[in-house]
Chain A
Amino acid sequence: AQKVTQAQTEISVVEKEDVTLDCVYETRDTTYYLFWYKQPPSGELVFLIRRNSFDEQNEISGRYSWNFQKSTSSFNFTITASQVVDSAVYFCALSEALKDTGRRALTFGSGTRLQVQP
């Protein structure tokens, strides 16, 4: 069974600080996909990034960066120079094939609530 662990339940930082959200996953598949989603107070999940298991290149998008390390089964997310608007719950998710159907579904971590104080 696949599993996604986000050990940090809640993080509070002051604006302009850098913050890293941890994500550790478990899977037996060699082909899988990892995602990060942001859930602001409005409730709607906003897609941030998708990574496949064959692409370990780190990615940077503005103030956001992701560090994918297969050796440690981690897919961490860093926000540089955090802003109040970054306050939200962030979910890491894993997509792998379901045993019985071969089709895929997302398994989400429990989320990390990020509070950025002004």
Chain B
Amino acid sequence: DIQMTQSPSSLSASVGDRVTITCRASQRISSFLNWYQQKPGKAPKLLIYSASSLQSGVPSRFSGSGSGTDFTLTISSLQPEDFAAYYCQQTYSTPRTFGPGTKVDIK
């Protein structure tokens, strides 16, 4: 199985801050990487697919980059509705695996 790790596991930030979350795969996965946002009590929501493609309807302050083993999700200017958990997921091989998540909360 491909293991996914994320850092940091949690972070505190203020509205307007630039936030970067890192995801690392245990082997090279090209650009087969997706990002999700999950708010408490809600289902995850797709933000980014193929490492850098913005899902329809997702604000442009979200962006993704990377390939191979190292990936980043960036929120250019954090908004109140962005406080949530973020998960990366690889689709290079089965079983599909997710990172452990990064929780973004209010400083």
- Pair from one complex: no
Chain A residues close to B by CB (< 8 Å): none
B contact set with A: CB distance below 8 Å: none
